[in-house]
């Protein structure tokens, strides 16, 4: 197991280097002068542009700039963005909020998604099953911005149960956005769990467990569920990465100061340094989460071994 982990960690390095180069290339090859629009309705003065370009080495060839960047990256310095702030500081400011939001979303997904899926699975064909299938269908069909804006309007503005925006990013403020974010994944997880559970309930070992006299709860909850969760864990692992970097719409509606909106704003501002830095961190996060998911398989189903 230890060797496996080390091998996986070593494999991450060429991936990070490769993706960082691709991202760097894509961002800085894009047309558009980063000084446009920074000066209001008039073009920036020549002196301003010259100072800007000198500060960020924008006149060197791309390869040179990439290696300068890589050198700093290996020292843990993600560079200074076009607002004069260190990218590391900007991300450190926003990651706690994003992590909190993602945590709430994942908890929502696990609680509601798996519970609904289990209930639907054990009572296949009955009322509960149909209810879950129908409601998840509705959740999948409704776009996230409708869900978000609607929740904000009803629970925030009209009923006043939750704060309207989550500017400070406290746990309480992030409850509603977390629910909204998790809602879509709840639908998928519920369906995955249900299907997987239904399949496993028909298998031999469950029949054996029940004929041995084991209670329904123990047979399902302890034995069948563990195996059913494998596709679900895969899905949740993939969605963690998406939630961390992609919650742009939810972040915008609720004014959450998270990583997703930071990337979006940096792209808009042509702030290449921020985009590259933030995306590389996301790549690393994604790789680590994937590693954890792979390790989790071994825990869930001992038949799966990693070597």
Partner 1 sequence: MRAPHKFLAFAAGAALLAVTACGGDSDPAATPDGGETGDAVAATGGEISVRGCTPENPLIGSSTTEVCGGNVIDAFTAKLIHYNSDTAEPEMDIAESIETEDNQTFTVTLKQGYMFQDGTEVMAKNFVDAWNWASYGPNGQQSSYFFEPIEGYADLQCPDEECATAPTVDAMSGLAVVDDYSFTIKTAEPVSNLPVRLGYSAFVPQPDAFFASEDKAEFSKLPIGAGPFKVIENTATEIVLEKFADYSGESKPNIDKVTFRIYNDPAAAYNDVVANQLDLTDLIPADQLVGDAWKTALDGRSETRETGIIQVLSFSNVDPQLADVNMRKAISMAVDKELITSQIFNNARVPATGWVSPVVDGYKENVCGEACEFKPEEAKKMYDEAGGYEGIFQVSINADGGHKLWADAFCNQLKNNLGMECQVNATPDFKTLRQQIGARELQGSFRGGWQMDYPSIENFLAPIYATGASSNDTDYDSPEFMKLLTEAAAADNPEDANKKYQEAEEQLAKDFPTMPLWYQETQYGYSDKVDNVKMNPFSQWDLTSITVK
In 10 A of CB 134, how many CB atoms?
Answer: 10
Enter the tokens of residue 122.
């054990």
Burial class of residue 32 in the structure, from the number of CB atoms within 10 Å of its CB (0-12 exposed, 13-18 middle, 19+ buried): exposed
The answer to the question of residue 26 lying near partner 1 (CB under 8 A) is: no
Residues 65-84, mask of contacts with partner 1 (x by CB under 8 A):
------------------xx
Stretch near partner 1 under the rule CB under 8 A, chosen from 12-20, 101-109, 116-124, 247-255: 247-255
d(CA 232, CA 264): 29
57 vs 85 by CB, closer to partner 1 = 85
Taking the complex as a whole, the smallest distance from the CB of residue 303 to partner 1 amounts, in Å, to: 48
In degrees rounded to 5, what are phi and psi of residue 80? -115, 130
The answer to the question of residue 60 lying near partner 1 (CB under 8 A) is: no
Q: Locate tokens 């949740």: which residue? A: 236
**Which position among 10, 41, 125, 211 is part of the footprint of partner 1 (CB under 8 A)?**
41
Taking the complex as a whole, the smallest distance from the CB of residue 151 to partner 1 amounts, in Å, to: 12
Taking the complex as a whole, the smallest distance from the CB of residue 144 to partner 1 amounts, in Å, to: 15
156 vs 231 by CB, closer to partner 1 = 156
The answer to the question of residue 168 lying near partner 1 (CB under 8 A) is: yes
Nearest to 195 by CA among 286, 108, 113: 113
89 vs 301 by CB, closer to partner 1 = 89
The answer to the question of residue 254 lying near partner 1 (CB under 8 A) is: yes
Q: What is the 3-state secondary structure (H, E, C) of 228-265?
A: HHHHHHHHHHHHHHHHHHHCHHHHHHCCCCCHHHHHHH
Q: Locate tokens 């990256």: which residue? A: 73
Phi-psi region of 32 (alpha: psi -120 to 50; beta: other; left: phi over 0): left
129 vs 251 by CB, closer to partner 1 = 251
233 vs 281 by CB, closer to partner 1 = 281
- 86-105: which residues touch partner 1 (CB under 8 A)? 90, 93-94
Taking the complex as a whole, the smallest distance from the CB of residue 128 to partner 1 amounts, in Å, to: 36
The answer to the question of residue 199 lying near partner 1 (CB under 8 A) is: no
**Which position among 180, 253, 279, 285 is part of the footprint of partner 1 (CB under 8 A)?**
253
CB neighbours of 196 closer than 8 A, spacing ≥ 6?
117, 121, 227, 228, 229, 230, 231, 232
Taking the complex as a whole, the smallest distance from the CB of residue 23 to partner 1 amounts, in Å, to: 20
d(CA 185, CA 190): 8
**Which position among 10, 29, 47, 138 is part of the footprint of partner 1 (CB under 8 A)?**
47
In 10 A of CB 29, how many CB atoms?
Answer: 9
Where along the sequence are the contacts to partner 1 (CB under 8 A)? 32-33, 36-52, 83-85, 90, 93-94, 152, 156-157, 160, 163-165, 167-169, 251-255, 257, 261, 265, 268-270
């Amino acid at each position: 197991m230890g060797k496996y982990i080390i091998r996986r960690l070593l494999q991450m390095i060429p991936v990070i280097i490769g993706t960082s180069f691709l991202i760097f290339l894509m961002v800085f090859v894009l047309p558009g002068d980063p000084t446009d629009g920074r000066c209001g309705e008039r073009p920036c003065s020549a002196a301003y542009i010259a100072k800007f370009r000198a500060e960020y080495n924008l006149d060197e060839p791309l390869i040179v700039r990439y290696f300068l960047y890589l050198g700093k990256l290996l020292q843990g310095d993600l560079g200074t963005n076009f607002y004069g702030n260190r990218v590391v500081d900007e991300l450190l400011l926003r990651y706690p909020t994003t992590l909190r939001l993602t945590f709430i979303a994942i908890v929502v997904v696990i609680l509601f998604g798996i519970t609904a899926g289990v209930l639907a699975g054990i009572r296949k064909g009955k009322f509960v099953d149909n209810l879950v299938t129908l409601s998840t269908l509705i959740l999948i069909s409704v776009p996230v911005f409708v869900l978000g804006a609607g929740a904000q309007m009803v629970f925030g503005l009209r009923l006043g149960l939750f704060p309207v925006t989550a500017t400070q990013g406290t746990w309480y403020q992030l409850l509603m956005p977390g629910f909204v974010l998790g809602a879509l994944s709840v639908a998928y997880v519920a369906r995955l769990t249900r299907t997987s559970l239904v399949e496993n309930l028909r298998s031999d070992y469950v029949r054996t467990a029940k004929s041995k006299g084991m209670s329904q709860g123990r047979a399902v909850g302890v034995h069948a569920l563990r195996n059913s969760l494998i596709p679900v864990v895969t899905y949740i692992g993939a969605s963690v990465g998406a939630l961390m970097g992609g919650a742009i719409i939810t972040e915008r509606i609720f004014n959450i100061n998270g990583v997703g909106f930071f990337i979006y704003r940096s792209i808009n501002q042509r702030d290449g340094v921020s985009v590259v830095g933030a995306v590389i961190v996301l790549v690393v996060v994604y790789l680590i989460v994937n590693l954890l998911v792979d390790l989790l398989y071994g825990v869930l189903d001992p038949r799966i071994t990693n070597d």
